[in-house]
Chain A
Amino acid sequence: MRCLRKHFSRKYLREEVLPTPFCPGCFNGVVMNAMFKAFEELGVERLKGYVFVSGIGCSSWIPSPHIKADTIHTLHGRAVAVATGVKLAKPNLNVIVIGGDGDLAAIGFNHLVHAARRNMDLLVILVNNLVYGMTRGQASPTTPEGMRTVTTPYGAYEPVMDVAELIARTNANYVARWCVVNFNQLKNSIKEALSKYSRGFRFIEVIAPCITYVVRYEGKTPGQKIKELMKVCRPNTETPYGRIGILKAEDKPGYLDRYFEYVKRATEGDKGE
């Protein structure tokens, strides 16, 4: 029997752990494809020198055990704090955080916003599935108003938290938001955030509705949701998920640039007087 061709993502994966634990159709896998396509187009064949850090939640399972690189699966909400430590200890490593809305925007938002304020040299990918997926679909800070969930059967009534806009208001260098169906734009943003904008805080939010507790809960199939999102998620327009597109792209010195500059001044006894 002829060997099966392998999907392009599999060279970046620890194949012995496949299939993933994600529900059938879960968009986590599509986000992984976009990221791996970005690496492929950047000519990165092996993820040496990259460290992936995650906390707790469905999308926090994207790095470990799946990605064939150094991965750290840490405490709930603390991925950005741990990633900050990794970057400061080993500035030459590329540190990437992947997490969900529950992990990064709810319990871990404090770490996220301060890393953004510091323009910390990290790439953070927020996989916003619009609910607390791992704990079975409760409304989260990013559940759009009016959306039905298991805890808001008559529609969510709390005002939504626009995470990308909040991060864009800080000193962060790069902020973008795409839906999972903006595949090429998402892939290009990840590429950009690892090449042209390779310093400071880079934040990419991906709208990736939980297949089981948003999409199936609405009585839709993954395929139907993809078609719906393709209509809704037009680049540079307002959507129920906030503005889609690149919200900010700057190349200011990152935290490490400022830190090493400070160390140099301290070494020379230069108080700037």
Chain B
Amino acid sequence: MSACSVEVDRNLCKGCGICVSVCPKNALELSPNIGPSGYRYPMLKGECIGCKTCTLYCPDFAITIVCNEGGGQG
């Protein structure tokens, strides 16, 4: 079970896929369905280590990471 989870503001996400491609654990994939703004959004498919690379590179301020112990919010 992943210690960290991913939260996406689907009103901001534009489905660019940058988060998917920068994740060092290849833990993300784009959803099969489209979100409220007409784009596919990222979902966790593997283990997230909470590195927050995805949050730094998300150009639309849409993805954040929440970890159980200690790990801060991004």
Known: A29-B60, A183-B57. A8 touches B74 (CB 8 A): yes
Q: Which residues of B contact A27 (CB under 8 A)?
A: 59
- By the criterion CB–CB under 8 Å, are A25 and B18 in contact? yes
Q: Which residues of B contact A13 (CB under 8 A)?
A: 61
Count chain A CB atoms within 10 A of each CB in B7, B60, B62, B64 and give the residue with the most.
Answer: B60
User: Which of the candidate stretches A14-22, A89-97, A249-257, A263-271 sits at the interface with the other chain?
Assistant: A14-22
B33-74, CB under 8 A of A: which get 1 and which 0? 000010100000000000000011111111110100000011
- By the criterion CB–CB under 8 Å, are B59 and A30 in contact? yes
Q: How far is the CA of A22 from the CA of B21 in the complex (A)?
A: 20
- By the criterion CB–CB under 8 Å, are B14 and A19 in contact? yes
A and B contact pairs by CB, cutoff 8 A, 6 listed:
A5-B7, A5-B64, A30-B56, A30-B59, A33-B59, A222-B21
> A231 at interface (Cβ–Cβ under 8 A)?
no
Which among B7, B14, B55 is the interface contact of A24 at CB below 8 angstroms? B14
- By the criterion CB–CB under 8 Å, are B58 and A33 in contact? yes
Chain A: minimal CB distance from B41 (Å):
12
Q: Which residues of A contact B57 (CB under 8 A)?
A: 30, 33, 183, 226
Q: Is the interface of B mostly helix, strand, loop or mixed?
A: loop
Chain B: minimal CB distance from A182 (Å):
12
Count chain B CB atoms within 10 A of each CB in A7, A30, A224 and give the residue with the most.
Answer: A7
Which residues of B pack against A, CB within 8 Å?
Answer: 7, 9, 11-12, 14-18, 20-22, 37, 39, 55-64, 66, 73-74
Known: A18-B61, A19-B60, A33-B56. A25 touches B14 (CB 8 A): yes
- By the criterion CB–CB under 8 Å, are B60 and A20 in contact? yes
Q: Which residues of B contact A224 (CB under 8 A)?
A: 21
Q: Which residues of B contact A7 (CB under 8 A)?
A: 9, 55, 58, 61-64, 74
- By the criterion CB–CB under 8 Å, are A37 and B61 in contact? no
> A136 at interface (Cβ–Cβ under 8 A)?
no
A24-39, CB under 8 A of B: which get 1 and which 0? 1111111011100100
- By the criterion CB–CB under 8 Å, are B64 and A6 in contact? yes
A54-79 interface (Cβ within 8 A of B)? none
> A10 at interface (Cβ–Cβ under 8 A)?
yes
Q: How far is the CA of A14 from the CA of B18 in the complex (A)?
A: 23
- By the criterion CB–CB under 8 Å, are B12 and A223 in contact? no
- By the criterion CB–CB under 8 Å, are B7 and A221 in contact? no
> A9 at interface (Cβ–Cβ under 8 A)?
yes
